[in-house]
Amino acid sequence: MAFLSSEQLNTMGFAELGSNVLISDKASFYNSKKISIGSNVRIDDFCVLSAGDGGIEIGDHVHIAVFCSLMGNGRIKLSDFSGLSSRVSIYSSNDDYSGLSLTNPTVPDDFKNVRSADVLLCKHVIVGAGCVVLPGVKINEGASIGALSLVSKDCEEFKIYSGVPAKPIKARKKDLKALEMDFINKR
């Protein structure tokens, strides 16, 4: 995987850009001025980050694996130490599928009923491969989402979720909080 140079990253017009940021030269960014990226972040091949009015905020020590997409008009925030496995899609906007309105970006807004709402992934959240996260969801600290799950409602902290729709299946250990403190103290 080839990563963009610091010089290339600095010309992309991000709202904020931390240090030690590795972004694939095959990733795509739209409305970069609304995207903030912390330090020690890696974004892999074929990811698409399309920021709407709410923007996209990526904390420190965040990994976004191949083929992920983050898009929509609401705010999307990935907090420190969170991560997305391959092919995760996070949407902060959603069309109305009821048939009461038209859909897709080729139709003027007054014929559509798009719902936008912020999406928040708190610290130490991990989202498994192929998951979809819908507008308005808050995944609380330490929650873990199993592969191929559909997250349509908020997730409690330090629980493991799985399924369509995602439901809690068991508790997640909190040992990683002590490891985080040890990691920070040693740096």
Question: Counting every residue, how long is the chain?
Answer: 187
CATH topology of domain 6-186: UDP N-Acetylglucosamine Acyltransferase; domain 1 (2.160.10)
pLDDT of 187 reads: 82
What is the Cβ-side half-sphere exposure of residue 187, based on CA atoms within 13 angstroms?
8
The two tokens of residue 63 are 């990994």
Q: Rounded to whole angstroms, how far apart are CA atoms 184 and 146?
A: 27
Structural domain boundaries in the chain: 6-186
Cα(138)–Cα(153) distance, integer angstroms: 7
Whole-number Å distance between alpha carbons of 83 and 117:
21
Distance CA 89, CA 102 (A): 23
Mean pLDDT of successive 10-residue stretches along the chain, which has 187 residues: 96 98 98 98 98 98 98 98 98 96 95 97 98 98 98 98 98 96 93
Q: Phi and psi (nearest 5°) for 170?
A: -170, 170
